[in-house]
Amino acid sequence: MKCVYMDEQCYEFHQEDIADKCFLCGQNSQKLFVVRQISSMKMVHMCGECMVNNCEEFLLDNTRPWEGLKGKSE
């Protein structure tokens, strides 16, 4: 599925992000959130516990719906 938004570069994932693991603790969680790291302004996957414990460093960014596979545009 092709991205239909013109702002795709605003939703780039951090180069160290792994889609199946929490960006901070590295645990493979069944429920990961996509959040924005404030320092890099890049998107990362994060477990709920890390998201709550580090909320001053990350933003929940749900400004538009996601299409296609998790973290990837086709």
Question: Does the structure show a pLDDT above 50 at 1?
Answer: no
pLDDT of residue 30: 82
Contacts 24+ apart (CB under 8 A), 64-69: 64/5, 64/7, 66/34, 67/1, 67/3, 67/4, 68/1, 68/3
- The string of pLDDT tens digits covering residues 8-66 is 666 789 999 998 999 999 999 888 989 999 999 999 999 999 999 999 999 987 665 55
- The string of pLDDT tens digits covering residues 54-67 is 999 999 876 655 55
pLDDT of residue 67: 57
pLDDT of residue 40: 93
The answer to whether 35 and 28 have CB atoms below 8 angstroms apart is no
